[in-house]
Amino acid sequence: MATATATREDFAAMLEESFTQGSPQEGTVVKGKVVGIEKDLAVIDVGAKTEGRVALREFAAPGRQADIKIGDEVEVYLERVENALGEAVLSRDKARREESWGKLEKAFNDQQKVQGIIFNQVKGGFTVDLDGAVAFLPRSQVDIRPIRDVTPLMNVPQQFQILKMDRRRGNIVVSRRTVLEETRAEQRQELVQNLEEGQVIDGVVKNITDYGAFVDLGGIDGLLHVTDIAWRRVNHPTEVLNIGQTVKVKIIKINHETHRISLGMKQLLEDPWQGIEAKYPVGAKFKGRVTNITDYGAFVELEPGIEGLIHVSEMSWTKKNVHPGKIVSTSQEVEVQILEVDPVKRRISLGLKQTMRNPWELFVEKHPPGSVVEGEVKNKTEFGLFLGLDGDVDGMVHLSDLDWKRPGEQVIDDYKKGDMVKAQVLDVDVEKERISLGIKQLAGDVMSTGAAGEMKKGSVVTCEVTAVNEGGIEVKIVDTDLTAFIKRNELARDRSEQRPERFAVGQKVDARVTQFDRKTHKVAVSVKALEVAEEKEALAQYGSADSGASLGDILGAALKQRESEKAED
């Protein structure tokens, strides 16, 4: 009994195992055989008496017809073993996708290119079939340059680089541009290896910018900078070049790391700066054309390829703070003088004002010191007046040269801008470009006319009191236009007599000149000094230390003689 029972159980287990081993598993890719084709469906047997139907279109690649027939072995994805109709639910697309994802992940990890076909356009880009897996191709990754029409690229097998992939979300992002850039880089590297610095080659102008032109050297571009087009100044490459033009260029520099190539055209011509010092000696004058004007000066072309700079300080003798554009204009022909030549730095300094006479030299020739000129008041400052004179030069009247009698700070208020004023030329400093003028000199020198002409320090003068105040008295020296102020302590030798109130306006007073400066027109007089001098003179003439005469007797005799001398006069 026990043996028979065991045999039946073993048989049941073996039967169950045989069914289990032969049954396909749901959610896996299985192999099947095409056993029939019904209209647009393929009937596929996946084993264990299980069949399912798959649309023929799932066996077709994008843009192609399905190539399948009865008897073919195919791989399909088993979604369910049996549906409501008792058939297996199969998918060729999912099988291909599962297979593709495995290959794509390996390619992505190994940074290898993959083959695909652009088959549809969506928002922001295109969809690409990667042998069953659908990827997104952003519009910016289609080509190196923007492409308007992508039609020629669709439904054509080509290579892509996977940029990003997420199997869980089913997202794949690819780039065609990366593949093209890599291919181009390889081509450029190969082309660059065949080029050498100093080599002369023909190229075609491909593009023109403000800073130069890109020249196609046969698959690789080189930059022809605007400064290397010609020895002369070229403001914009379009002045010399046109797109599509064939040009002969020289390879100046090759950067093998970045594959950048610098080209030159002017290097094929003779350098005009050779022997420049002999051609343009310092001090010589030449004519040239103004090519460019800046805030700091103007550039003048002396010959094609040779330019010099007239610095703003060398443009005019008189216009110091004026923009160069107010003195010269572009394309104007001017005469210039060579000031400095630097062949190493390729610089020539030019002077414009040096071709004209120095206006200060002309002025002093025409108006030497002592001559009288007339000019308009251009400006008033705290130290004097500025007058505009012949030759577009200015002269200055210092405050001290405005008036003989009144302080300059007061007199300057009598003048205003625009007034025409006459003045005497006092001095002209050509080197410092200064002209000194005087207005008071036109009225004559009160220190040199009349009685003042014979006056000197120590002279005794008669003064008329014009004003009395607490600090002293104001006086006018008789027979002159000179005035002076006698301080309180100079009114008498004796301290008790140094009182201003003992004098009255109109009163005549004798005093001694203690200061007489014709240059500064300063005059000082003192009653005290006169009394002290008379005392010394009296002692010398009428007494001695052992004569026995008193000081009063001596002074009395001196005063008596002085009075008699005055009476005789």
Confidence of residue 480 (pLDDT cuts 50, 70, 90): confident
What is the reported pTM? 0.47
Query: Does 157 have pLDDT greater than 50?
Result: yes
CA distance 127 to 138: 9
pLDDT value of position 7 = 54
Question: Which stretch of 253-257, 345-349, 409-413 has the lowest confidence by average pLDDT?
Answer: 253-257
pLDDT value of position 220 = 80
The per-residue pLDDT for range 233-287, each reduced to its tens digit, is 888 999 999 999 999 999 999 887 777 889 999 999 888 888 899 999 999 999 9
CA distance 428 to 396: 11
The per-residue pLDDT for range 179-199, each reduced to its tens digit, is 988 887 777 777 777 788 888
Query: Does 10 have pLDDT greater than 60?
Result: no
The per-residue pLDDT for range 23-61, each reduced to its tens digit, is 566 667 677 787 778 777 777 777 766 777 777 776 766
Q: List domains and CATH numbers for the chain.
A: 23-110 (2.40.50.140), 111-181 (2.40.50.140), 195-268 (2.40.50.140), 276-355 (2.40.50.140), 370-443 (2.40.50.140), 450-558 (2.40.50.140)
CA distance 382 to 282: 43
Question: Which stretch of 18-22, 367-371, 482-486, 560-564 has the lowest confidence by average pLDDT?
Answer: 18-22
The per-residue pLDDT for range 203-223, each reduced to its tens digit, is 999 999 999 999 988 778 889
Residue 557: C-alpha distances to residues 512, 544, 550 (Å): 20, 14, 11
Identify the burial level of 92 via C-beta atoms within 10 angstroms of its C-beta, where 0-12 means exposed, 13-18 middle and 19 or more buried. Answer: buried
Alpha helices in 374-522 (DSSP H): 408-411
- Per DSSP, the residues of 333-392 read EEEEEEEEEETTTTEEEEESGGGS--HHHHHHHHS-TT-EEEEEEEEEETTEEEEEETTT
